[in-house]
Homo-oligomer: A and B are copies of this chain.
Amino acid sequence: MKNITKLRQTNQDESLNITLSDSYSRVRQFSEELTRPLETEDYVIQSMPDVSPTKWHLAHTSWFFETFVLSEVNPKYRSPHPQFNFLFNSYYFQVGERHCRPKRGLISRPTVEEVFRYRRHVDQNILEFLEISNEEQLRGIASVIELGLHHEQQHQELMLTDIKHVFSENPLRPAYMGKEQKPSDPLLPEIDWIEYPEGVYAIGHNGEGFSFDNETPVHKEYANRFSLASRLVTNREYLEFIEDGGYKRPEIWLSDGWNTVEANNWTAPLYWEEKNGSWQYFTLSGIRDIALDEPVCHVSYYEADAFARWAGARLSTEAEWEIAASNLSIEGNFVENENYHPMVISAETNNSKPEQMFGDVWEWTRSAYGPYPGYTTLPGAIGEYNGKFMCNQIVLRGGSCATSRSHIRKTYRNFFPPNARWQFMGIRLAKDAK
């Protein structure tokens, strides 16, 4: 079993079951905290096929623990709602038939209250199991529990991005929270370019502490010399791209990207709206004027790639990103900050190392999501977690303002199709070193 270091604030004297119970309670509670601003009706809506209702997220993450933990450790365990296996399974073919994904918004029952009751049932059973188990008994299942908690943290991020999309579709434009908008900082200095040397690098997770299988094994990659931008691309810079006809010049777009722009009439990032010549965006605090020095957000890979080409640069590979991240500390604007929105960095930051590598926005790389050399999936349904998506997706790195600090790693590989925009996704430029 892998060490469990990330989710617990490690106290080396604590026994494993206490540590797990603490992590479990903390992560599970945080899911429920995120729902506090919601009305019952908000939990039900699926505003597009990629989005799931909040109710579904709450139930699905519980189903995960029921299916892969409770049913595993106790063959006599019986779900109080056996039909939930059908409703709240997502893509695990090996545990049975699933409800059709685009129909998640057609399900009024179970009610929100019943889902919370289901969560409490699962929580009680998990915590009881942890209480009565010794280290020996936890061997094997502890890593599944930890996987379940990381899985739940992924859904916490989706809960935020999904409810943002749900609210944006409502002409009344409800706000998730009522935060004040701070006045913007003065103009940021230009991007600096930080250079990294050529060589063979070790990429991927070395097995100490938790990781997803797609981060392994650690392996060697050859990298040329390259430069990475000292900070993220800002709304101000992205506006220049728009005003320079960025969305009207097919020659700077990937072919599929241009088709997507035309098919969807894209003229700006998701949630942006032009009104009387000035730009606003929809945020979790409602409609706002665009803050020019903030990192640009809610752009697709196609837009990130076109912007980079327009700017005479490119996106980094995921290996390059990981090389640059390797001696940074993981700090940034994470979900714990309760901004739920990217932040402006201070104008006086130290440009000898890249800023904002963690938090704020997921950074599109130019790397297609695929298996690392020597990658193998786990046996059984858990093996379906990552490997089956290794096609038609692009890697993103670094976490966002909706990511938990305890969830992210330098080797963490997030991935989305190149047309996805509803996550907190942004742009960091890279260059071949001259």
Contact = CB atoms under 8 A, between A and B. Distances in A.
Interface of A: 39-45, 47, 55, 83, 86-87, 91, 93-94, 99, 103, 105-112, 166, 169-172, 174, 200, 219-224, 250-251, 253-258, 301-302, 305, 317, 366-368, 370-371, 373-374, 384, 388-392, 418, 432
A253 B40 CA distance: 38
Contact of A93 (B87, B99, B166, B251): B251
A170 B255 CA distance: 25
Contacts of A172: 83, 87, 107, 109-110
Contact of A392 (B109, B256, B432): B256
Contacts of A258: 93
A302 B390 CA distance: 11
A43 B170 CA distance: 16
Given A105-B45, A200-B200, A255-B91, A374 B171 contact: no
A254 to B, nearest CB: 5
Given A255-B388, A256-B392, A388-B255, A112 B373 contact: no
A111 B171 contact: no
Contacts of A169: 103, 106-107
Contact of A366 (B87, B91, B370, B388): B370
Nearest to A418: B391
A339 B42 CA distance: 32
A224 B373 CA distance: 7
A220 B221 CA distance: 9
Contacts of A112: 40-41
A208 to B, nearest CB: 21
Nearest to A113: B39
A391 B222 contact: no
Contacts of A367: 370
Contact of A174 (B40, B109, B392): B109
Contact of A368 (B39, B40, B370): B370
A433 to B, nearest CB: 10
Contacts of A257: 391
A335 B86 CA distance: 35
29 contacts: A39-B109, A41-B108, A44-B108, A45-B105, A47-B106, A91-B255, A93-B250, A93-B258, A94-B251, A105-B105, A106-B166, A106-B169, A106-B170, A108-B170, A108-B174, A109-B174, A200-B200, A220-B222, A251-B384, A253-B388, A254-B389, A255-B389, A255-B391, A256-B391, A257-B391, A368-B370, A373-B432, A374-B432, A392-B418
